[in-house]
A and B are shown apart, each in its own frame.
Chain A
């Protein structure tokens, strides 16, 4: 199975900050990498697919980059509604494993 490792596991930041979350795969997954946002008590929401493509309706302050084994999700200017947990997920091979999550909290 491909292991997905996110860092950091948690992060405190302020409104307006620029934030970067990293996801590393245990082997190359090309660009088969998706990012999801999950708020407490809610289902996850797709933000970015194919490493860097925006899902419809996602604000442009979110961006994704990377290929191979190293990927990043960047939020350019944090808004209050962005405080949530973020997960990466590989769709390169079965099982489609998720990272352990990064909880973004208000400083």
Chain B
């Protein structure tokens, strides 16, 4: 079945980097984009950006520009999100989601299970 499986939880110190993976299966990876969304504890959803799995074009949230990099490996159908210079307020569950484009809209129709990233000294 169509699914996205993410890497496991991470604990990092302030100033470090984290790289979360998101492995796709059950569909043609290069036919869709992958978006990344995070959720701080007890808070709402924050869109971080997305990457086209077809041509690797990216679009990042302005507030994360310079700290985030999204990449894909089409040989393994895996997307990656790296966040650098981690701060305590980057503690969150990070989700990848498939970006599904229709004639009328685009939406996130398949989600990974989430990866908890904890930033603590």
Contact = CB atoms under 8 A, between A and B. Distances in A.
Query: Which applies to chain B's interface (DSSP): helix, strand, loop or mixed?
Result: strand
A101 B44 contact: yes
B44 A49 contact: no
Interface stretch (B10-18, B72-80, B106-114): B106-114
Contact of A49 (B49, B105, B112): B105
Contact of B105 (A1, A38, A50): A50
Contacts of A99: 44
A85 B29 CA distance: 30
A87 B44 contact: yes
Contact of B113 (A43, A55, A97): A43
A72 interface: no
A63 interface: no
Contacts, number: 71
A43 B47 contact: no
From B35, B59, B100, B108, name the one whose CB has the most chain A CB atoms within 10 angstroms: B108
Interface residues of A, number: 27
Interface string B82-121: 0000000000000101001010111111011110000000
B61 interface: yes
Interface residues of B, number: 24
A91 B107 contact: yes
A49 B97 CA distance: 15
Interface string A28-53: 00011110101000011110011101
Contacts of B107: 34, 46, 49-50, 55, 89, 91
Given A49-B109, A94-B61, 20 more contacts: A1-B62, A34-B107, A34-B108, A43-B112, A43-B113, A44-B37, A46-B107, A46-B109, A49-B104, A50-B104, A50-B105, A50-B107, A53-B102, A89-B107, A91-B105, A91-B106, A96-B35, A97-B47, A98-B47, A100-B44
